[in-house]
Amino acid sequence: MGLSGAEYERILGLMGREPNYLELSLFSVMWSEHCGYKNSRPLLRRFPNEGPRVLQGPGENAGVVSLGDGWALAFKMESHNHPSAVEPYEGAATGVGGIIRDILAMGARPVALLDSLRFGPLDEERNRYLFREVVRGIGGYGNAVGVPTVGGEVEFSPAYSGNPLVNAMCVGLIRVDDLMRSRATGEGNAVVLLGSKTGRDGIHGATFASDELTEESESKRSNVQVGDPFAEKMLIECCLELLGQDLLVSLQDLGAAGITSSASEMAAGGGVGIDIEVEKVPRREAGMEPWEVMISESQERMLAVVEPERVEEALALAERYGIGGTVVGRVAGHGDLRVVDNGEVVGTVSAEHLADAPAYEREVLRPAYLDEVQKFEVAEIPEPGDYNEVLLSILSHPNLRSRRSIYNQYDHQVGTNTVVLPGADAAVMRIKGTRRGFAVTTDGRGRHCYLDPRGGGAATVAEAYRNLSCVGAEPVAVTDCLNFGSPEKPAGYYQLAECIEGMSEACEVFGTPVVSGNVSLFNETDRGPIYPTPTVGMVGVFEDVGRHATPGFKRGGDMVVVIGGSSRVSLAGSEYAEIVHGRVAGRPPGPDLASEKKTADLVREMVRSGLVDTAHDVSGGGEIVAVAEMALAGGLGIEYEEGELERMTEGQGGGRRDVALFGESGDTFLVAVPQERWEELEDALSRAAGYDLIGTVGGDRIRVGDAIDLKLSDLRRAHEQDLFGIPGEVVGGSEAVG
Amino acid sequence: MPETLKVRVLVRPKEGILDPQGEAVRGALPALGFGGVKTVHIGRLIEMEVESAAEVDAMCRRLLSNPTIEEYEWEVVS
Amino acid sequence: MPETLKVRVLVRPKEGILDPQGEAVRGALPALGFGGVKTVHIGRLIEMEVESAAEVDAMCRRLLSNPTIEEYEWEVVS
Amino acid sequence: MRVGVTVFPGSNCDRDALYAVERMGEEPVELWHAEADLKGVDAVIVPGGFSYGDYLRPGAIARFAGVMGPLEEFANGGGPVLGVCNGFQVLCEAHLLPGALLQNTHMRFVCDRVRVRVETANTPWTAGCEGGEELTLPVAHNEGNFFADAETLARLEDEDRVVLRYVGNPNGSANDIAGVCSEGRNVVGLMPHPERVSDPALGSDEGLKILRSVLVGATL
Ligand SMILES: Nc1ncnc2c1ncn2[C@@H]1O[C@H](COP(=O)(O)OP(=O)(O)O)[C@@H](O)[C@H]1O
Ligand SMILES: [Mg+2]
């Protein structure tokens, strides 16, 4: 059942007697890594989680931050890695369904989805299959349920072969006054199960998610859950209506560990007990045992607490929406989760004990592999001859290629709130009836975290902060998903601890507390562990959503300026080193957080003041890749200044053109302004650590000294190839959205 | 020219696996004026012309069905 | 309680209607090492338990298939 | 003008359509699928989404919903009806429009902005456009590939019943058809979503040209 001997002893101690099979099943699911955070709880305490805008930090179904004017956002990210490895379409689809219900449980209307994905290289058939089906699954669910998928990210590396990462994030909008919490109260109140019938789906799925993937687990077929976005859509509308009519005392989604975890969390939250009359739970399959019903992970279900006199009204509403609604229990005065089958008590466990999973703290020991992989000298890689070729090969590499063939499979506009569509640094959403809005991004830097866990953790957060700043939003808070290998191995534990440390430091400097998150450990296959890959979802706010920027060049004649302290550009751990030279090595410069913040805040201020409407950050691939992305997004070329390439090469390039063009650094941005606003820009830039006019927008080519001269149409052909590799396929008809 | 066989493959959700399509259709039927339907299950019909039936089972397993969530049966119809 | 009949309905694209799924499967087979497949067509399999077969044909015509693009056949299997 | 928007289980552009009606400056009226009542509206929009999950076939189940009886009567009496995306599919299934919408030939959901040409201004939903005018409209569908047999296609072309035509075909539609109208011209089905571009805050309100057309007809 996935409980160790010591854990069993602990249960004996807590209960003061032998648990029966049902009771043991409840412990087993609740004490799994997935629900109980055995290996991560002590480390997670490091995350800062307070701030002036935080209305709800970790500990609830989702974190909530205030947007002002009584508006709030609820958001959370969650992993569905293991289910997606086994059955990619349904694994990804149910991942989306699950995270939507977490947001719904806060009382919020889900308004945006994002997906953060990792796969092995696309030259392996199995990886192509996983990638294609995961994307289809996310679209298949999100599109049908009517929540726009507005952003996300994807990377490919051999480290994820056979162990894809599928992290889904959902953002919900709510009035502060309407916030719901998972807290059962009022002895005698009814516990109502809403939504689909209960089958044997994912029995022990939570424990499964915490095992390493093996050949054997691939044949555990009964773990597979199938999503029903139609049922979810009706569940969303029904729950929002129930909340709107004030019919609910509390609401909670059913995720991992099903009724067991929902009921015990609600009971613990309210300091009460809950009796579940298990025979009342509507079932899809015959002959289910009470323990199976209690831990089933059937999808599209919610648990609500309703006052007895309002039950009838609530059930009538469920009927109107065509979803099931059944009273399956009562709030009780004792503190237990008690399971009753046709009048007979078949299990009694204290809700507190279920929540009291053991926590394992380990020594943080620096693994030896780091010394090995951090060795890197620029001189080890030869300077390329043909920079045009290099730029084309980088822009067409799956890690830097346009994501259009992914996000065009996602409905990113339903809801008519998406102001900046996918393809920009962050999605920008408006709030109807107000000038306000928010921006949201997900980011992860697995390779960087592998080469330097602490620096990579900080860089992950910094990247998200930059992305929000580029569009002009004020970053306010973070959700995260910690995707790691086994914490029982010293290297795995070190990576986890160090990444959390780096992320925490960055969150502190940026003032973006972590308000929700999720942990996915044991991501290992026969080929070894994945890169340590914490992903973050960050949200930012706009007072005036009309004042935002996008990367695409907008006007010929605009002057393009690079801003930031790019004196630290480096090829260590860069895309260029991996794509062109096959090297994953070196210690990337850790972010200088204070300077990062200063530069990002400056860029944001320029957008907010209306001075800048074209901005982009320099990220994977370095300055020239960022410039090419801006050109392609806007359909306008750029001519670098005379002598600029030489200046770059002598300066930050340390004499090397490839370092200057493709070197990566943290706090570097590109903005473009019309000539007539140049003086205003210079004024604003007086506070910058450094800046440099690099060129002028115009024409249909990118020209950089005598190194690069490429037509946009050639760049576009390379950059916008279909990631799903259907020969001859042309994706999309219109220009990229800038 | 080798003769061809007509093969019919039926693919359906495995026992115990949720069949949202079937469920939704069944749930909608009474309101649509179709009574007396107890269960509905929806799967895939695949019809092929093949030169030999020797490989049909392997095709079903590897491509035509998703063994994780589906089961199949096949027959030569002519 | 009235006995139930098990009915099987097969719905397939009409002759001449584009069947991109069938085409895609046919196209994918050689690469997987399956030769000798001439045609592949993909349709829907619907299995129902009904109290009487009286309405099945009407259901097929009005709901389970779209006569503009599909044809159907049905039988009582048990 | 009172403009009704049908809400089926699984519709997901219903709220967007209601909002777009507000943007038109008219009165939106929600029409719940189970109620056989059009509430005296002057025009009806059947919105996009996945009615009944698009299970079986898009639109196949929704066409039997309670609201469809009065809607058919309204349509047959000449009332202006606009089906968008899933709404188009529903209207085809209900035989209020000819043809059917098959899966996109590339077998992928496609969400994008496409150029379309208004082929006729002679419908209540294009009367405010110029014939031949080009618009950029969002599409988002998995089954948008318009199909009709050769005879029907020829008739649609002859009778000037192709309402919108793609400039770049995103789904394999016959004759690049993005929208058609009924014989009486009052029922129009479009795969593109005019309601998604009805607000300058989202970058364009070109869709209002289509939606507000129904006001032109009403004042005739
Ligand atoms: N990596 C993390 N960072 C911050 N908070 C976390 C993290 N992982 C889990 N949490 C918080 O712990 C609580 C329990 O998480 P989880 O069990 O995943 O929630 P749920 O049961 O609602 O899916 C949540 O409030 C979640 O936000
Ligand atoms: Mg939850």
Does the pLDDT at position A730 exceed 90? no
pLDDT tens, A692-710? 999 999 999 999 999 999 9
DSSP state of A435: S
**Phi (first) and psi of residue A188, to 5 degrees:** 95, -15
- As to burial, measured by CB atoms within 10 angstroms (0-12 exposed, 13-18 middle, 19+ buried), residue C39 is middle
Count Cα neighbours of A435 within 13 Å in the Cβ-side half-sphere.
5
* D28-63 confidence digits (pLDDT tens): 999 999 999 999 999 999 999 999 999 999 999 999
CA dihedral of A383, A388, A390, A392, whole degrees rounded to 10: 170
C21 shares contact with chain D (CB less than 8 Å): yes
Does residue A221 sit at the B interface (CB-CB below 8 Å)?
Answer: yes
The terminus-to-terminus CA distance of chain C in angstroms comes to 17
- Ligand sitting nearest the alpha carbon of A76: 1
Mutate to test the interface with D, among C17, C18, C21 (most CBs of D within 10 A): C18
Beta-strand ranges (E) seen in A29-124 are 54-56, 63-68, 71-79, 109-119
Assign B2 a pLDDT band (cuts: 50, 70, 90): low
Going by pLDDT thresholds of 50, 70 and 90, the confidence category of residue D218 is low
Q: How confident is the model at residue A3 (pLDDT cuts 50, 70, 90)?
A: confident
Whether the predicted pLDDT of A731 surpasses 70: no
Hey, what are A220's tokens?
Answer: 């555990």
Q: Is pLDDT above 50 for A221?
A: no
Residues lying with their CB under 5 A of ligand 2, a single-atom ion: A 61, 102, 253
Contact D166, D178 (CB under 8 A): yes
In this prediction, residue B27 carries a pLDDT of: 87
Element spanning A269, H or E: helix A258-270
Alpha helices, DSSP H only, in A66-124?
A: 81-86, 88-105
pLDDT of residue A383: 95
Segment A71-76 mean pLDDT: 98
The single-letter DSSP state of residue D63 is G
Q: Which residues of D touch A545 (CB under 8 A)?
A: 201
Whether D56 sits inside 8 A of C63 (CB atoms) is: yes
Give the full edge-to-edge strand order of the sheet including C70-76. B70-76, B5-13, B37-50, C37-50, C5-13, C70-76
Kindly list the residues from chain B whose CB atom is less than 8 angstroms away from the CB atom of residue A196.
18
A732 pLDDT more than 80: no
Residue A557, ligand 1, Cβ within 6 A: no
| Cβ neighbours of residue D174 closer than 8 Å, sequence gap 6 or more | D145, D146, D147, D148, D153
A653 neighbors A569 (Cβ within 8 angstroms): yes
The verdict on a CB contact (< 8 Å) between D61 and B20 is: no
Question: Which domains can be identified in chain A, with CATH numbers?
Answer: 19-354 (3.30.1330.10), 368-401+549-730 (3.90.650.10)
- Cβ atoms of A55 and A477 within 8 Å: the answer is no
Handedness of CA C61, C67, C73, C77 (dihedral sign): negative
A501 touches A46 (CB < 8 A)? yes
Whole-number Å distance between alpha carbons of B24 and B42: 10
What amino acid positions of A are annotated as catalytic residues?
Answer: 34, 80
User: How far A215 CA sits from the closest chain B CA (Å)?
Assistant: 14
Residue D45 C-alpha from the chain's centroid: 7
> Of the candidates A161, A170, A163, A302, which has an alpha carbon nearest to the alpha carbon of residue A243?
A302
Mean pLDDT computed over A272-292: 93
With beta carbons less than 8 A apart as the criterion, state whether A563 and A626 touch.
Answer: no
User: Which range (A178-192, A714-728, B43-57, D75-89) has the least confidence?
Assistant: A714-728
DSSP string, A299-350: SSEEEEEE-GGGHHHHHHHHHHTT-EEEEEEEEESSSEEEEEETTEEEEEEE
DSSP 8-state code for residue A158? G
CA distance A534 to A518: 10
Mean pLDDT value across residues D87-94: 98
A52 Cβ contact list (under 8 Å, min separation 6): none
Interface contact flag, B18 A298, Cβ < 8 Å? yes
User: How far apart (Å, rounded) are the C-alpha atoms in residues B21 and C11?
Assistant: 15
Sheet containing A336-341: give its strands across: A250-253, A301-306, A190-195, A324-332, A273-277, A336-341, A344-350
**pLDDT top residue among A201 and D42:** D42
Query: pLDDT class for A736, splitting at 50, 70, 90?
Result: very low
Cα–Cα nearest to A260, from A287, A297, A207, A288: A297
Range(s) of the domain holding residue D49:
2-219
pLDDT of A211: 52
pLDDT at A388: 97
> Could you tell me if D97 and D122 are in contact, meaning their C-beta atoms sit under 8 angstroms apart?
no
Mean pLDDT within A395-413? 97
According to DSSP, the residues that pair with D179 across neighbouring strands are D164, D190
User: Which amino acid does the sequence have at A567?
Assistant: S
pLDDT at A203: 79
Position B35 confidence tier, pLDDT thresholds 50, 70, 90: confident
Residue A191, amino acid: V
Q: Which chains touch C (3 or more CB pairs under 8 A)?
A: B, D
Mean pLDDT across the stretch A610-620? Answer: 97
Q: Dihedrals φ, ψ of A75, to 5°?
A: -155, 155
Query: Quick check: D61 and C63 CB within 8 A?
Result: yes
**What residues have CB less than 8 Å from A72, skipping those under 6 apart?**
A55, A64, A65, A66, A108, A173, A174, A175, A176, A179
Domain C5-76 CATH class label: alpha beta
**Strand ranges (E), A390-452:** 418-420, 427-430, 437-444
How high is the pLDDT of residue A223? 61
Give the minimum alpha-carbon distance from A223 to chain B in angstroms, rounded to a whole number: 9
Mean pLDDT of D124-128: 97
Per-residue pLDDT tens over the stretch A526-553: 999 999 999 999 999 999 999 999 999 9
Residue holding tokens 């009273």? Answer: A327
Q: Which two tokens stand for residue D137?
A: 């409209």
Q: Is the confidence at residue A163, as pLDDT, over 90? A: yes
pTM over 0.90: yes
Q: Is the pLDDT reported for residue A91 higher than 80?
A: yes
pLDDT over 90 at A114, yes or no: yes
- Over residues A243-270, mean pLDDT: 92
Interface of D with A in 65-124 (CB under 8 A): 106, 108-115
> To the nearest 10°, the Cα dihedral for A732, A619, A558, A560?
-160
3-state secondary structure of A119: strand
Summarised one tens digit per residue, pLDDT across range B42-62 is 999 999 999 999 999 999 998
Confidence of residue D153 (pLDDT cuts 50, 70, 90): very high
Tokens of C4: 């139930």
pLDDT, chain A, mean: 93
- Is the minimum CB–CB distance between D93 and chain C shorter than 8 Å? yes
Domain count, chain D: 1
Whether the pLDDT of residue D26 is over 80: the answer is: yes
| Arithmetic mean of pLDDT, D179-186 | 98
Burial environment of residue B35 by CB neighbours within 10 A (0 to 12, 13 to 18, 19 or more): exposed
For residue D44, CA distances in Å to A224, A302, D78 come to: 42, 34, 12
CA–CA dist A401, A650 (Å, integer):
29
Of all residues in chain A, what percent carry a pLDDT higher than 90?
Answer: 86
Q: What single string gives the DSSP state of each residue in A134-154?
A: HHHHHHHHHHHHT--EEEEEE
Please, which pLDDT band fits residue D181 given cuts at 50, 70 and 90? very high
* Residue B68 pLDDT grade (very low, low, confident, very high; cuts 50, 70, 90): confident
Length of chain D: 220
pLDDT at C18: 84
CB A662 within 8 Å of CB A622: yes
A267: nearest Cα among A163, A196, A182: A182
- Token look-up 């975290």 returns A449
Q: How many Å lie between the alpha carbon of D170 and the closest alpha carbon of chain C? A: 15
Which residue in D52, D64, D66 is closest to B24 by CB distance?
A: D52
Question: Bigger pLDDT: A580 or C28?
Answer: A580
- Confidence check: pLDDT of A219 > 50: no
Cβ neighbours of residue A545 closer than 8 Å, sequence gap 6 or more: A419, A428, A429, A430, A431, A435, A436, A437, A438, D201
- Residue A214 predicted with pLDDT over 70: no
Beta-strand relationship, A336-341 and A427-430: unpaired
Task: Kindly give the pairing relationship between strand A701-704 and strand B37-50.
Answer: unpaired
Query: What b/e string do you get for A157-192 counting C-beta neighbours within 10 Å, with b at 16 or more?
Result: bebbbbbbbbbbbbbbbbeeebbbbbbbebeebbbb
Q: What is the pLDDT of residue A678?
A: 96
Whether C60 has a pLDDT exceeding 80, the answer reads yes
pLDDT given at position C2: 61
Task: For residue C56, give the 3-state DSSP assignment.
Answer: helix
Chain B residues in contact with D64 by the CB 8 A cut-off are 28, 31-33
Q: How far apart are CA A689 and CA A670, in angstroms?
A: 14
**What tokens does A7 get?**
């854990």
pLDDT digits (tens, 9 = 90+) for A617-661: 999 999 999 999 999 999 999 999 999 999 999 988 889 999 999
For chain D, the 3-state helix, strand and coil shares in percent, each to the nearest 5, are: 30, 30, 40
The whole-number average pLDDT for the span B21-32 is 88
Q: Do A734 and D16 touch (CB under 8 A)?
A: no
